[in-house]
Structure 1
């Protein structure tokens, strides 16, 4: 049975989420504030986390950012904030998707199923042999979901890794933002191609010596982005 963690301070909304998930065969646990939700996520294993943004203690952005430092699990943000900057911020700190309040409970369940299934497909696709891309001081272990810079591991969220890995597997080919969004996020995700730019910038902050003048992830003005195979430093 798949286990879901609901982090939501509104009891009525949390109860609706819990009731529909239980009715569809999920196991559910709840937290009413950010700090307790983060503590539960650290101590236990969940197949997906439903995370509200407006939480007492730590807000959803802070919870997601901290969570991504040590654990990979699908995170679906549930929010009443419809401004694009908030949506992009949520995706930027590592959320996989978002759903707006008020929501259709059946759509919520469908979205939960979709993200769990997608994560399981990713895990099932891991092969025993190590597939590695090396470019200068950068090493990307594609099967292990690990990135090293100057032989030191760099933490990545799942979306950041998938975006970098896709570009690294197709070096020197330019992909538009729209093409990258379709390939990495897939048809089931909400949002738009601006999400790609947010993730590119976050990746550059992690792997580029000078993010304003990138060595690995180049911007081709008016066309998109490409991964350049750099020579050793």
Structure 2
């Protein structure tokens, strides 16, 4: 028996790995995060039991898994995006290790990747930014020392900020001294869902644009010079005259 932590992707049911889809269709027990995972992701399943974990607390989820383990039934534990990012799987895994229950993590498409696709952007450009910082706004969860938004902003790297749209004013205030008021920023609401929407602007004008849209939750913030720059060097990978293992010199 194995518990499979499956990344269902950001919303579009087709943005799931073949492996993840296969496991959802074959596992006899499915426990899915119904508040963030569309039910269409479960299409084609033959499960004996399907449970929406949005209504449960951790202990109830573990009891369901223990019940499946007693019957020798594999469990598809379906999370949104990639389960290793803000998926709250760490606490579940800790319990499974204590119980001696096998598990496996199946990666998924991240919300950050979906947002970059919507914007038609590459998040790492030569001479502009070669680093992407994935973080969240400190509200209920206190950030560890050195991970405060202002500290991370000192790097000037491309940044993806989860769970922060309600605190956009504070975020802009912390970012501006390091990125500059003219720095490009985008706020993407429900990326890859049928009702996806987004706005792009600068740190100077993004608040008014977001307020006009009415985004209050389920939105990701992307900030960085990569979002509005055509002035960058070409990568070495495809540059004429640059030799490598698959394209020897001469």
For normalisation by structure 1, the TM-score amounts to 0.26
Q: Higher RCO, 1 or 2 (CA under 8 Å, sep at least 6)?
A: 2
Structure whose alpha-carbon radius of gyration is higher:
2
For normalisation by structure 2, the TM-score amounts to 0.25
Larger proportion of helix? 1
